[in-house]
Amino acid sequence: MGKGRIEAFSDGVIAIIITIMVLELRPPEGEDWSAILKLWPVFLSYVLSFVNVGICWSNHHHMLSRVTRVDGRILWLNLHLLFWLSLMPFATAVMGEGAFSRFGVALYGADLFLCSAAYSLLVRAFRALHGPESDFAHAIGRDVKGAASALGYAAGFGLSFLSPALGLAVYAGVTAMWFIPDRRFVRPSA
């Protein structure tokens, strides 16, 4: 089957996820800058989540640009990824409203790790469907960045119990790693 439906559905779900996250932002209790400054954990959590959802959306888009078809297994694995992404607003709220408590930062890291694991499963399914010599398989390569992300999220999860700031720093580091342009899926100019 073609890939158009999976692209459209995923784009819609991700747009809803971002909408839910922004709707979770509540106005401050007060009308001065100090009232807004008290919300810094909530706002910082939102920014980190917005960027992480954006990275996932961008990578998903680029990945789908290199595949030609999907099957039932891929549809379910894509739903699996979207499930963990759909929990991002909840994890974001727990982390931000808890002012970066150990539990909140750990929960957030668990969700990031599960999103990363779900994405990796989806990559493997596409590689299996399209074959080891396919355009997709050559583009994805060994997926070192994907593996490094999963390891980083797992490390941040563990560190968050020792120090939420360390866990958060690791999550931010993994996020920053994705700002380096990923050329795997960019088609060469003709």
Enter the DSSP assignment of 66: T
- The answer for 163, left when phi > 0, alpha when psi is -120 to 50, beta otherwise, is beta
The confidence score (pLDDT) of residue 187 equals 58
Question: Which has the closest alpha carbon to 173: 156, 187, 159?
Answer: 156
Q: What totals of helices (H) and strands (E) does the chain contain, helices first? A: 9, 0
Contact 141, 131 (CB under 8 A): no
The confidence score (pLDDT) of residue 189 equals 39
Q: From first to last of its 190 residues, what are the pLDDT tens digits of the chain?
A: 889 999 999 999 999 999 999 999 988 888 889 888 999 999 999 999 999 999 999 999 999 999 999 999 999 999 999 999 999 999 999 999 999 999 999 999 999 999 999 999 999 999 999 999 999 998 898 899 999 999 999 999 999 999 999 999 999 999 999 987 667 766 553 3
Helix (H, G, I), strand (E, B) or coil at 180: coil
Q: How far apart are CA 120 and CA 128, in angstroms?
A: 12
Q: How far apart are CA 165 and CA 127, in angstroms?
A: 37
The confidence score (pLDDT) of residue 1 equals 80
Q: How far apart are CA 134 and CA 114, in angstroms?
A: 27
Q: How far apart are CA 53 and CA 41, in angstroms?
A: 18
Residue showing tokens 């993994």: 174
The confidence score (pLDDT) of residue 181 equals 66
